[in-house]
């Protein structure tokens, strides 16, 4: 049973994630896409007469159950199947991140950034508030995220999804290599 607690390699996790595509299609003619859940939450909770949120979100409640499942899955994996050791990250990355003040590898997320103490600080504003906003705004503007475009869209050989995926990657490279260091300096790292 050792393999369960060890981190799963990419060649196990990737195909399992890919299988979600046919699973959803066969279970109920559903197209894989997770960022849509955020839109359904808006449509359900605060539609505010905005045309973009006037649709039958109840018909899409399967998507909300799916993300609720993802949350529960995260809970199960972390509480019952967790790797007891610290996460193993490439040494080059560790050196790069140490220069930015990120040194704690005891959890999957760096406690130097993602802790409640940072909530009402410039760090929290950058990583939680601005970061989250960019994710929510950008995925909806792009019409999908890594699941809807990179996995579902490219799997169905749709070229607009390939364009979107290249834009995701370019945005990530820009943030990591151009903006991250100066932004982290500004917020006090």
User: What minimum distance in Å lies between the beta carbon of 125 and another protein?
Assistant: 10
Kindly tell me which of 69 and 188 has the beta carbon lying closer to another protein: 69
User: What minimum distance in Å lies between the beta carbon of 168 and another protein?
Assistant: 4
User: What minimum distance in Å lies between the beta carbon of 171 and another protein?
Assistant: 2
Alpha-carbon distance 40 to 168, whole Å? 22
Residue 9: DSSP 8-state: P
CA 9 to centroid of chain Cα atoms: 19
At residue 84's C-alpha, the angle toward residues 184 and 4, to 5°, is: 115
- The backbone torsions φ and ψ at residue 54, rounded to the nearest 5 degrees and listed phi first, read -95, 85
Alpha-carbon distance 113 to 127, whole Å? 8
Alpha-carbon distance 63 to 147, whole Å? 13
User: What minimum distance in Å lies between the beta carbon of 104 and another protein?
Assistant: 10
């Amino acid at each position: 049973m050792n393999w369960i607690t060890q981190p799963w390699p990419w060649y196990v996790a990737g195909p399992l994630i890919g299988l979600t595509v046919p699973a959803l299609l066969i279970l109920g003619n559903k197209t894989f896409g997770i960022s849509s859940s955020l839109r359904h939450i808006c449509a359900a909770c605060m539609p505010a007469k905005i045309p973009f949120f006037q649709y039958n979100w109840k018909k899409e409640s399967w998507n909300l159950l799916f993300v609720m499942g993802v949350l529960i899955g995260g809970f199960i994996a972390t509480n019952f199947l967790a790797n007891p050791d610290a996460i193993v990250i490439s040494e080059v990355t560790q050196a790069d991140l140490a220069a930015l003040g990120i040194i704690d590898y005891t959890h999957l997320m760096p406690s130097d950034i993602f802790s409640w103490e940072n909530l009402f600080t410039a760090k929290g504003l950058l990583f939680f508030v601005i970061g989250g906003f960019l994710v929510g705004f950008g995925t909806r503007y792009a019409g999908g995220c890594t699941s809807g475009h990179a996995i579902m869209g490219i799997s169905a050989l749709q070229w607009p999804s390939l364009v979107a995926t290249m834009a995701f990657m370019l945005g990530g490279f820009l943030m990591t290599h151009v903006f991250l260091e100066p932004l982290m300096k500004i917020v006090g790292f």
